[in-house]
Amino acid sequence: MTRPAGLAAYITVTAAYWAFMLTDGALRMLVLLHFHTLGFSPVQLAYLFVLYEIAGVITNLSAGWVAARFGLTSTLYAGLSLQVLALLALTQLDPTWSITASVVFVMLVQGLSGVAKDLAKMSSKSAVKILAPATGGGLFRWVATLTGSKNAVKGSGFLLGAVLLAAFGFVPSVLTMAAVLFVILIGVVTGMPKGLPVGRKDAKFSEVFSKNSNINWLSAARLFLFGARDVWFVVGLPIYFYAVLSDGTTESNRTAFFMIGTFMAVWTILYGIVQGSAPRILKAASRSNEEILVLAKRWAGLLVTVPAFLAGLVWLVPEPSNVLTATIVLGLLVFGGIFAVNSALHSFLILSLTDAKRVTMDVGFYYMANSVGRLVGTVLSGFTYQMGGLSLCLGTATLMIGLGWLGTSQLKAPKTVHRDTPISASHD
């Protein structure tokens, strides 16, 4: 494959991934805020995303094998198509249904969306690794561009979803996103250059399970890291902010939706910026294997302090106030910065610790653990908020980060580190 063809394919894949993540972020905010206004409890809201995360676990576990068997273009097209179907299905929700029926229906649709997301993610990230030039730091530049921009796009999706809901309502917003994504899909199918792997018939599913202790410990650490984020991010914080900002009127609801969406967007965008800057922050180019592992442990320990402080603060000051809300916002932005560095370290380590012959399988296993963490965090977000409010959400996050630090501390330095591996190449 020539470089121009590779570049064209990279641009096409990136555009497809951007479009998908924009709708993914918007859909999450639309579903969360819409059903909260309908009277769903925090636990019921968490249920809405359970199958989404379960689907991520299953899809990531098998994603390496699926791509190896059927090819990357096929899985990319499948991911985009399934997301269009999920959006269209969501518009069929009948407001006269019972809460139980509504929860079950939305869970099933979100499960379909979860499969779509992880097929698209796996395809895009794997394609970039294959398409990038092998010399001149091409992989670093291409992956950093995709991952950094991805978080900005997803963050914009959070804001877009909140704005669409406030301005147009639920069904028109979802239909609009389905139409736009369908147009993108047609453009991707017609514009995708040749050159991506078409698959191999002898790929074995058993290859997805790792026998490398480093991969297993790092996967466990990843599980707790992302569980610690989602335990407050998915349900707890948006509902807390809604309670603080809205009195139930239409006008205050719109204001609350906009403010919640703005915070989620800003948090995610800043997360992406810090993530992309991680190599400079850590001065990674000049560090040894042992030093990078020490940094991973140190930054995990540093992350523990932020939710611990905020949990104690919210517990000591149970009555909402402007000062408390501002402190929570600032504290969680600090959490996002430290979290981004931790995520970047993990993403470097998974690529440096794995064997080149089974990188697809090990990365798939690793991101399966990531999805398990998000699943656990999502469920706990609803339960902990309902049982103890935001302070219990943040306290649970503190415990999970501590467990992640224990997993990271078990890692052993590999004999060699590939310096062309981008430390900022996070896949979440």
Residue range of the domain that includes 343: 3-195+207-408
Q: Against a cut of 0.75, is the pTM above it?
A: no
- Do 243 and 312 touch, CB atoms closer than 8 A? no
Give the model's confidence band at 422: pLDDT under 50 very low, under 70 low, under 90 confident, else very high.
Answer: very low
Handedness of CA 27, 29, 35, 40 (dihedral sign): positive
User: Residue 149: CB partners within 8 Å, gap ≥ 6?
Assistant: 14, 18, 272
Amino acid in position 210: S
CA distance 347 to 353: 10
Note whether residue 421 is domain-resident. Answer: no
Note whether residue 418 is domain-resident. Answer: no
Residue 145 has pLDDT above 70, yes or no: no
In whole angstroms, how far apart are CA 60 and each of 116, 129, 241? 11, 17, 32
**Percentage of the chain modeled with pLDDT above 90:** 21
The reported pLDDT for the residue numbered 205 is: 57
- Strands of 109-162, DSSP E: none
Say which CATH number the domain at 122 has.
1.20.1250.20
- Tell me the two tokens of residue 208: 């997805």
Q: What is the pLDDT of residues 320-339, one digit of tens each?
A: 777 898 999 999 999 999 99
Split into its structural domains, the chain has a count of 1
Note whether residue 132 is domain-resident. Answer: yes
The reported pLDDT for the residue numbered 364 is: 75
- Do 170 and 30 touch, CB atoms closer than 8 A? yes
Give the model's confidence band at 14: pLDDT under 50 very low, under 70 low, under 90 confident, else very high.
Answer: confident
Residue 230: HSE in the Cβ half-sphere, 13 Å Cα cutoff:
23
Residue 218 has pLDDT above 50, yes or no: yes
Note whether residue 285 is domain-resident. Answer: yes
> What is the rounded (10 degree) CA torsion for 89, 94, 99, 100?
-50
Note whether residue 416 is domain-resident. Answer: no
The reported pLDDT for the residue numbered 419 is: 44
Pick the more confident residue, 395 or 165.
395
Note whether residue 299 is domain-resident. Answer: yes
Q: What is the pLDDT of residues 69-109, one digit of tens each?
A: 677 788 888 889 999 999 999 889 887 888 888 888 888 88
User: Residue 338: CB partners within 8 Å, gap ≥ 6?
Assistant: 299, 302, 303, 306
The reported pLDDT for the residue numbered 330 is: 95
Q: What is the pLDDT of residues 161-198, one digit of tens each?
A: 888 888 888 889 999 989 989 998 898 888 776 655 55
The reported pLDDT for the residue numbered 194 is: 66
Residue 406 has pLDDT above 80, yes or no: yes
CA distance 124 to 269: 20
User: Residue 407: CB partners within 8 Å, gap ≥ 6?
Assistant: 217, 218, 220, 221, 223, 224
CA distance 44 to 101: 12
Residue 139 has pLDDT above 60, yes or no: no
User: Residue 256: CB partners within 8 Å, gap ≥ 6?
Assistant: 241, 242, 245, 246
CA distance 52 to 108: 8
Note whether residue 422 is domain-resident. Answer: no
- Do 346 and 426 touch, CB atoms closer than 8 A? yes
The reported pLDDT for the residue numbered 37 is: 82
- Tell me the two tokens of residue 245: 């900002």
How far out from the chain centre does Cα 251 lie?
31
**Percentage of the chain modeled with pLDDT above 70:** 81
SS3 127: helix
- Per-residue b/e over 38-47, b at no fewer than 16 CB within 10 Å? eebbbbbbbb
What stretch of H or E contains 31? helix 3-37
Alpha-helical regions (H) of 209-321: 213-233, 236-245, 250-282, 289-316
Note whether residue 8 is domain-resident. Answer: yes
CA distance 241 to 5: 47
- Tell me the two tokens of residue 360: 């697809």
Residue 427 has pLDDT above 50, yes or no: no
